[in-house]
Structure 1
Amino acid sequence: MQEFPNLSHDFPGQNIELAPAKAPVWMHRLIDRIYAGQMVDPLSGNKPIGDTDAEKRAAVLMLFSGSETSFSLPNDASVLLTHRAPTMRSHAGQIAFPGGRIDPTDVNAVDCAFREAWEETGLDRRTATPLAQLNEVHIRATGYPVYPVLGHWHSPSPVAPASPHETDEVFEAAVYDLIDPKNRLMVGWREWEGPAFRINDYIIWGFTGGLLSALLETAGWSTEWDVDRVYDLENTLATSRNNERMR
């Protein structure tokens, strides 16, 4: 585990305006397609369930780092992820983007995403640039809306679990590992199936797996992989480090 960064407070209300023009060149195609409405559907079939309470809205931060001088996907490109503590009441043991519910004091979804990232990982929001906000997507089980915020971590700083009861590991997954066909798989449970990744002996699936897969596909970074064979999710998780159980 990394040593927790010495960042005693967040900077709420700062750095909350989207700045797509500041994206590194290697992210331009992704940004352009998002703003042109050409984003691959990340979670097809996930729909709102009835009226959505404003208190149930959430935001997540999809934060990519990587060289700002590269014209193509750089070797050091990575994305920030967390492992939710197995003792959590919801989504326990899952790999997730930093994020959580939007508070009344949050100015917008970007403000929420950065605040949650700070609470979970100690991220200094001043080291990252918010580039785009995806259309709301919905949690499969609840239908609650989530607003994914895409950012570039232009000046990576130390991060680590800031709230161990909620997050017990923080790490950066290399994009080249994510797009490696040997690390990609389809998983299924009951009538549901979706894309997943094997990283650091973890399984990234569900909401996070769907978003990651859609981002890689939209950006043109994805390579051909086996989408025909579907692995049983429960058995796959049992041999992983996730420490999560299906309900």
Structure 2
Amino acid sequence: MPAWLDPVVEAARTIEPPQLSRFLPPEDGRGRQSAVLVLFGEGPRGPELLLMERAGTLRSHAGQPSFPGGALDPADGDPHTTGPLRAALREAEEETGLDPSGVQLFGVLPRLYIPVSEFVVTPVLGWWRTPSPIGVVDPAETARVFTVPVADLTDPAHRVTAVHPKGHLGPGFTVESALVWGFTAGVIDRLLHFAGWERPWDRSRQVPLDWHA
């Protein structure tokens, strides 16, 4: 893997769950086990991340930019060992068309919880060693697939505080004609911070979310 990924590898090895999010899996075991693929690649402008926009007709998190991913299937195996790895690659292939053989997995982050949909999510980190064509596979699931340069994610001009209609505040990124917010923005925000890539930005710059967000 390229040397610029070393800080991410170290962050994945040392980060503790409360440092990543205040929403952690319920102790009683509730929640649907799932995984997302946090895929780093090398594009024309340097390091980049793979994201997608979920279809607006989906029941959960409709229309939101997100990492590829979804719920674990029984065939994926143990949700506490290899299950999330298999699920992240399988879902990424189904949603973006990427060839999983070109992806090198190098770590996992602590499991997190999304209260609104009751998903217990394992972020799986990958290096896009051999890039392959990507695009929308099923319009019923995915509206578009795109990559975002890490340079844009760290640019203070693209950083905002997203304001939920219920008053919740969280990190946001205005990139590639999209507002990345919620769970996905939270993971990106913490990765940038613990990898030492974060640049000072104006947290008072707020962007309200649509009422249906």
Tell me by how many angstroms 1:200 deviates.
1.8
Instruction: Give me the TM-score of the superposition, normalised by structure 1.
Output: 0.78
2:162 to 187, 202, 217: 187
Amino acid at match of 2:199: T
Contact 2:162 2:172 in 1 (8 A): yes
More strand by share: 2
1:214 aligns with 2:184: no
Map of 1:160-175 to 2, 5 A cutoff? 160-175=135-150
Name the SS for the 1:156 alignment partner.
Answer: coil
User: Which consecutive unaligned segments of at least 5 residues does structure 1 have?
Assistant: 1-22, 68-73, 235-244
Deviations 1:111-161 (A, max 9, x none): 100000011011111111001011101103244310000000011110111
Amino acid at match of 1:212: I
Name the SS for the 1:220 alignment partner.
Answer: coil
Name the SS for the 2:19 alignment partner.
Answer: coil
RMSD of Structure 2 on Structure 1 (CA)? 2.0
Contact 2:17 2:24 in 1 (8 A): no
Amino acid at match of 1:31: V
CA distance in 2, matches of 1:129, 1:40: 27
Contact 1:139 1:146 in 2 (8 A): yes
Tell me by how many angstroms 1:93 deviates.
0.5
Deviations 1:54-104 (A, max 9, x none): 7x100000000028xxxxxx9421110001111111111100100000000
Contact 2:135 2:144 in 1 (8 A): yes
CA distance in 2, matches of 1:158, 1:39: 34
CA distance in 2, matches of 1:38, 1:53: 21
Rate the CA distance shift 1:80–1:126 in 2: closer, same or farther, 3 A.
same
Rate the CA distance shift 1:106–1:153 in 2: closer, same or farther, 3 A.
same
Contact 1:47 1:143 in 2 (8 A): no
Instruction: Give me the TM-score of the superposition, normalised by structure 2.
Output: 0.89
Rate the CA distance shift 1:166–1:47 in 2: closer, same or farther, 3 A.
same
Match of 1:246 in 2: 212
Amino acid at match of 1:24: P
1:84 aligns with 2:54: yes
CA distance in 2, matches of 1:219, 1:233: 28
Larger Rg: 1
